[in-house]
Chain A
Amino acid sequence: MIAALICVVSIAALLQFFISYSRSIIAAYRKATLSDQVREVAGISGDVLHGEQFGRLLQLVRLCPQKGDDQGDLSVVQSYYRLLGVFKALGRALSPALSRWAEHERVDCVYFAAVALDRRIAYSRALLAQQMSPQ
Chain B
Amino acid sequence: MLGPLDYAIMALTFLAELYVVVCLCVSKSRFRYLALNVFMLFAAGVTVGGVLALKHFGVTSQAYGYFYYYTDALLTIALFFVVMSFYQQVFQQMGVGKYVRLASIMLLSATAIFSYLVVRKMPTHHLTNRFVVEMSQNLYFVGVVLTYLLWGAVVKLRETRTRLIQLVLALGIFFSSEAASYALRNLFPSLEANILKWIPPIANTFLPLAWAYTFTKVPEDARLETARVTRRAPAPAGIAAHQHS
Which residues of A does B touch, CB under 8 Å? 2-4, 6-7, 9-11, 13-14, 16-18, 20-21, 23-25, 27-28, 30-34, 47-50, 69, 72, 92, 96, 99-101, 103-105, 107-108, 111
Contact = CB atoms under 8 A, between A and B. Distances in A.
B187 to A, nearest CB: 5
Given A13-B176, A47-B240, A105-B232, A96 B166 contact: no
Secondary structure class of chain A's binding surface, majority of residues: helix
Interface residues of B, number: 49
Given A23-B228, A28-B162, A99 B169 contact: no
B105 interface: no
A104 B169 contact: no
Contacts of A108: 232-233, 241
Given A49-B241, A96-B245, 12 more contacts: A4-B187, A6-B183, A13-B144, A14-B176, A16-B172, A17-B172, A21-B166, A23-B228, A28-B222, A33-B238, A48-B239, A103-B245
A23 B229 contact: yes
A24 B245 contact: no
A129 to B, nearest CB: 25
B232 A14 contact: no
Interface in B159-202: 162, 165-166, 169-170, 172-173, 175-177, 179-180, 182-184, 186-187
22 contacts: A4-B187, A6-B141, A7-B180, A7-B187, A10-B180, A11-B180, A13-B144, A13-B147, A17-B172, A20-B172, A21-B166, A27-B225, A27-B229, A28-B224, A31-B236, A48-B242, A50-B242, A50-B244, A72-B209, A107-B242, A108-B241, A111-B236
Nearest to B213: A72
